[in-house]
Amino acid sequence: MNKEKFKEIIKERVRISEECYDEWDEGIKKCWNQEIDILIEDIPSTIIFLQNECTADEFSWISEVIEDIAEITNSHEFIDCYKNLMKKFPEESQKYNISGSIEYAEAALREEGRDV
């Protein structure tokens, strides 16, 4: 996983959120697509990153793409890892309804024939 590029994308997503009150749709979609590409490139290294280096802010931004990641990768391990971060970041989990994002991701896994 290219951590530096991931962090750059998150910075851009934050900038868009802070500067574009109308939520610049094209810029957001570009960030989401780049974020997804990096996170799915190497799931084992992404899981290691999540477990050891992911910040609370990064955790909350990933929630925007977690369902897409589940659909693309069918990775139960990735979703479990992300779900476990709720304990590490309880404030963000509540503030951004991370459990709701995880429910959608788990539903995407079930749709692909995987039990969660």
Determine the average pLDDT of the residues in 97-114.
Answer: 86
Q: What is the pLDDT of residues 60-86, one digit of tens each?
A: 999 999 999 999 999 999 999 999 999
Backbone angles phi, psi at 114, to 5 degrees: -105, 140
Dihedral class, residue 20 (left if φ above 0, else alpha if ψ from -120 to 50, else beta): beta
User: Is 116's pLDDT higher than 50?
Assistant: no
Look up the pTM and report it. Answer: 0.87
Determine the average pLDDT of the residues in 104-110.
Answer: 91
> How far apart, in Å, do the first and last CA atoms of the chain sit?
25
